[in-house]
């Protein structure tokens, strides 16, 4: 409907009125990279946890203990990831 | 009927992989990889392991591919285009041809020489509950070792990534 | 080789498929028609409720109470020219916008809208819904990057980190329900709430799931990826015309689905006194949850990004784990039988 021409002003990315400066794809939010890693880790851990949850009723308490150890071990990398994400200067 | 699904999934997996290798932009390569992994999830469903299939989707396509995309988008300095590949020389082409023949011979030997029963074996469906029970009882030590391995890998990986940045922002030569 | 089917066989097969229950379920209720109508209705409901919260009236002229406003918006968007910036990847953006809509509709097949009224009664229905939800961050990231605009890319990154940080607490908060019922099948989970709805014993889990759900939906107080005053439309900035309509509708479809999921998991699904049929109860509860989410949008300020992400990984995760311990105590006290069918 209507003529469709390519127009440099129309086709420019939107930046609230000013002409766009600089390469758009730069390194924002690099400091949160540890969160992505922790997501992959906990994604896999969730797979194990759900099987444990399904089996919980059938398990004696003593056998839940090592599962808890498994979870507690993962607190260390989580804490480290949180610590690293707070420091913007090293990323 | 399962054969149709299997063939379709194989086309998806291999086709996406080829697309991922031949794409000019790295991002398209990652998207091709994502489709390939979705095909693998389909294979898991065909094998009767739907639980694994769902986590295949959410771990590989939902997390690993995201990680790859994030790395491509933020770490590469250029706009993401692959540098033009050189055409392989005559020696390279001969080598690829020979390797292809060897692979074909090995695969053919495996298919033709190993006796295969015409009947597919019964799908032994394992209840997820039983998997949980055996994880917590028989394999609990393996689980703890797995946890330690994950923890060590993550901490090591994060430390390495961090140190790289430190060297660069220092301005000192590497 | 079997003989090729005759035309009559094909026609009779087609008729059998079209009149089959599954096909009707997929097309009408609880499938496509239900989802798209509800999503459109929700766009109207949002504008009306937010307006009342802000002491305005909202859409008024398109039909009674402005109820035809979504149709007016849809028609307008379909006729608008789709403008993509010259350095943006138009094909990728269109493909991603379409995928967003498909991903938002995909979980419907597993959610039970009534007794036996579920398109695909999967034994792993809950995990299937989570898997579909986990694909959103990558698509949104691609849209943000593919737009080649600073606003969009930043919005896409924020969305990625936000959804990724809140997905884990969301999964863990449901673990309590899994432990009590011993199944991942959503129909069974609804049936298990015949005596007491899960919102009671799993109050902590409910709070975590609701909050994480708001973050997944990018709604206030977690709408940094959109951030109207900062990023224009966030990662959707460069989408226009049909692409924008797909993305916009996908967001509201996701809202509908998340509310339906909360209803099925915590609010007893289609269970209710028999003055009203089951599906009606389900829809009532779902829209109630939607309304609460909409009111929250008008009532809360926005959370700062680093606090937001950290809160997801620390406080919400801890609460989800606390919920697991509460559930363990419940089961040890011998109260597990209340929720076993």
Domain ranges (residues) in chain B: 1-81, 129-174
Tens of pLDDT, residue by residue over B108-157, are 888 888 776 666 666 677 788 888 888 888 888 888 899 999 999 999 88
Which chains pack against A, by 3+ Cβ pairs within 8 A? B, C
Tens of pLDDT, residue by residue over C56-96, are 777 777 777 777 777 777 777 777 777 776 666 778 888 89
**Higher-confidence residue: A63 or C279?**
C279
Whether B70 and chain A come into contact, CB under 8 Å, resolves to yes
Helices (H), chain B: 2-22, 26-46, 50-56, 65-75, 90-113, 128-136, 140-170
H helix or E strand, kind and range, residue C223 = none
Asked whether the predicted pLDDT for residue C207 surpasses 70, the reply is yes
Quickly list DSSP for B53-88: HHHHIIIIIIIIHHHHHHHHHHH-SS-SBPPPPPPP
pLDDT-derived band at C6, boundaries 50, 70, 90: confident
First to last CA, chain B: 59
Give the E-state strand segments of C52-162 in sequence order.
none
Asked whether the predicted pLDDT for residue A19 surpasses 50, the reply is no
CB atoms within 10 A of CB A56: 26
Q: Cα–Cα distance between A54 and C175 in angstroms, integer?
A: 9
CATH number of B1-81: 1.20.120.1200
Tens of pLDDT, residue by residue over C132-170, are 999 999 999 998 888 777 767 888 888 888 899 999 999
Percent pLDDT > 90 in chain B is 37
pLDDT of residue C71: 78
Verify cis geometry, omega within 30 degrees of 0, for the bond prior to C30. yes
Quickly list DSSP for C84-112: --TTS-HHHHHHHHHHHHHHHHGGGGGS-
pLDDT-derived band at B32, boundaries 50, 70, 90: very high
pLDDT-derived band at B82, boundaries 50, 70, 90: low
Q: Cα–Cα distance between B19 and B85 in angstroms, integer?
A: 16
Q: Cα–Cα distance between A50 and A68 in angstroms, integer?
A: 13
pTM score > 0.90 for this model?
no
Please report the residues numbered 129 through 188 in chain C whose beta carbons come closer than 8 angstroms to any beta carbon of chain B: 130-131, 134-135, 137-138, 141-142, 145-146, 153, 160, 164, 182, 184
Asked whether the predicted pLDDT for residue C172 surpasses 90, the reply is yes
- CA C27 to the chain's CA centroid: 19
Residue of A nearest to C154 (CA): A28
| Helix (H), strand (E), coil (C) string for C258-291 | HHHHHHHHHCCCCCCCCCCCHHHHHHHHHHHHHH
- Count interface pairs A-C at CB distance under 8 A: 106
CA atoms within a 13 Å half-sphere pointing along the CA-CB vector of B171: 0
> What per-residue string of b and e applies to C149-158 under the rule 16 or more CB within 10 Å gives b?
bbbbbbbbbb
Whether B161 and chain A come into contact, CB under 8 Å, resolves to yes
**Chosen from B65, B130, B158 to mutate, greatest number of chain A CBs within 10 A:** B158
CB atoms within 10 A of CB C160: 26
Asked whether the predicted pLDDT for residue C222 surpasses 80, the reply is no
Asked whether the predicted pLDDT for residue C203 surpasses 70, the reply is yes
CA distance A79 to chain B (A): 10
pLDDT of residue C213: 93
- CA B85 to the chain's CA centroid: 24
Tens of pLDDT, residue by residue over B41-57, are 999 998 888 999 999 99
Whether A69 and chain B come into contact, CB under 8 Å, resolves to yes
**Higher-confidence residue: C29 or B52?**
B52
Q: Please indicate whether, in this complex, the C-beta atoms of C83 and A50 are within 8 angstroms of each other.
A: no
Please report the residues numbered 123 through 152 in chain C whose beta carbons come closer than 8 angstroms to any beta carbon of chain A: 127, 134, 145, 147-152
C231 vs A contacts (CB less than 8 Å): none
Which of A36, A45, A58 lies closest to B70 in CB terms? A36
Q: Please indicate whether, in this complex, the C-beta atoms of C138 and B27 are within 8 angstroms of each other.
A: no
pLDDT of residue A10: 57
Q: Give the residue from A42, A66, A39 showing the smallest Cα distance to A52.
A: A66
3-class DSSP state for residue B25? Answer: strand
Q: Delimit the domains of chain C by residue range.
A: 84-339
Whether B50 and chain A come into contact, CB under 8 Å, resolves to no
Q: Please compute the mean of the pLDDT values over residues C167-175 and round it to a whole number.
A: 94
CA distance C85 to chain A (A): 4
Which of C148, C161, C184 lies closest to A35 in CB terms? C161
Q: Which two tokens stand for residue C74?
A: 């849809």
3-class DSSP state for residue A5? Answer: coil
Q: Cα–Cα distance between B107 and B40 in angstroms, integer?
A: 21
Q: Please indicate whether, in this complex, the C-beta atoms of A85 and C154 are within 8 angstroms of each other.
A: no
Q: Cα–Cα distance between A68 and A12 in angstroms, integer?
A: 54
Q: Please indicate whether, in this complex, the C-beta atoms of A91 and B74 are within 8 angstroms of each other.
A: no
CA distance B10 to chain A (A): 25
B62 vs C contacts (CB less than 8 Å): 131, 134-135, 137-138
Asked whether the predicted pLDDT for residue C3 surpasses 90, the reply is no
- CA-to-CA separations, A34 to A31, A80, C237, C245, in angstroms, rounded: 7, 9, 28, 34
pLDDT of residue A20: 47
Sign of the torsion formed by the C-alpha atoms of C86, C91, C92 and C93: positive
| Mean pLDDT score of chain B | 82
pLDDT-derived band at C19, boundaries 50, 70, 90: confident
Residue whose tokens read 């379409």: C98
Tens of pLDDT, residue by residue over C298-336, are 788 777 777 788 888 888 999 999 999 999 888 888 887
pLDDT of residue C46: 87
The backbone torsions φ and ψ at residue A79, rounded to the nearest 5 degrees and listed phi first, read -60, -40
B60 vs A contacts (CB less than 8 Å): none
């Amino acid at each position: 409907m209507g003529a469709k021409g390519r127009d440099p002003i129309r086709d420019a990315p939107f930046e609230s009125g000013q002409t766009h400066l600089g390469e758009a794809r730069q390194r924002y939010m690099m400091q949160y990279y540890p969160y992505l890693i922790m997501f992959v880790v906990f994604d896999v851990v969730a797979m194990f946890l759900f099987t444990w949850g399904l089996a919980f009723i059938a398990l004696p308490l003593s056998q839940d203990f090592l599962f808890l150890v498994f979870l507690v071990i993962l607190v260390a990398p989580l804490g480290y990831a949180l610590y690293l994400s707070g420091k913007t200067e090293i990323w | 009927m399962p054969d149709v699904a299997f063939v379709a999934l194989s086309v998806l997996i291999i086709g996406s992989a080829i697309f991922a290798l031949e794409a000019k932009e790295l991002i398209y390569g990652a998207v091709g990889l994502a489709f390939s992994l979705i095909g693998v999830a389909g294979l898991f469903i065909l094998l009767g392991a739907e639980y694994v299939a769902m986590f295949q989707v959410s771990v590989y396509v939902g997390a690993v591919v995201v990680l790859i995309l994030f790395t491509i988008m933020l770490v590469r300095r250029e706009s993401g285009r692959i540098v033009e590949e050189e055409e392989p020389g005559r020696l390279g082409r001969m080598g690829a041809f020979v390797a292809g023949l060897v692979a074909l011979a090995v695969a053919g030997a495996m298919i033709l020489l190993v006796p295969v029963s015409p009947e597919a074996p019964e799908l032994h469906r394992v209840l997820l509950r039983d998997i949980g029970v055996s994880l917590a009882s028989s394999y609990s030590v393996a689980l703890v070792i797995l946890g330690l391995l994950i923890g060590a890998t993550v901490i090591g990986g994060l430390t390495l990534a961090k140190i790289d940045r430190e060297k660069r922002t220092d301005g000192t030569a590497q | 080789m079997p003989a090729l089917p005759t035309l009559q066989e094909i026609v009779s097969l087609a008729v059998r498929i079209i009149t089959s229950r599954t096909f009707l379920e997929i097309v009408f209720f609880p499938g496509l028609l239900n989802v798209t109508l509800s999503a459109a209705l929700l766009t109207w409901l949002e504008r009306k409720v937010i307006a009342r919260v802000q002491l305005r009236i909202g859409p008024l002229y398109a039909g009674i109470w402005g109820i035809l406003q979504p149709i007016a918006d849809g028609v307008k968007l379909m006729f608008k020219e789709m403008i993509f910036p010259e350095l943006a990847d138009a094909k990728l953006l269109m493909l991603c916008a379409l995928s967003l809509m498909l991903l938002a509709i995909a979980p419907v097949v597993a959610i039970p809208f009534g007794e036996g009224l579920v398109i695909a009664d999967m034994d792993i229905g809950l995990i299937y819904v989570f898997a579909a939800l986990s694909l959103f961050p990558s698509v949104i990231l691609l849209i943000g990057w593919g737009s080649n605009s600073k606003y969009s890319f930043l919005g896409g990154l924020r969305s990625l980190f936000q959804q990724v940080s809140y997905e884990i607490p969301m999964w863990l908060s449901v673990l309590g329900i899994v432990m009590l019922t011993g199944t991942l099948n959503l129909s069974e989970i609804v049936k298990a709430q015949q005596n007491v709805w899960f919102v009671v014993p799993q109050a902590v889990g409910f709070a975590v799931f609701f909050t994480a759900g708001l973050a997944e939906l990018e709604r206030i107080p977690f709408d940094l990826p959109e951030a109207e005053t900062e990023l224009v439309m966030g990662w959707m900035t460069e989408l226009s015309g049909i692409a924008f309509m797909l993305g916009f509708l996908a967001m509201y479809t996701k809202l509908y689905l998340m509310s339906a999921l909360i209803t099925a998991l915590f609010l007893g699904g289609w269970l209710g006194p028999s003055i009203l049929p089951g599906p009606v109860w389900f829809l009532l509860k779902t829209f109630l949850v939607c309304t609460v989410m909409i009111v929250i949008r008008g009532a809360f300020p926005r959370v700062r990004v680093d606090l937001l992400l950290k809160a997801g990984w620390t406080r919400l995760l801890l609460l989800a784990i606390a919920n697991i311990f509460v559930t363990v105590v419940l089961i040890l006290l011998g109260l597990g039988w209340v929720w076993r069918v």
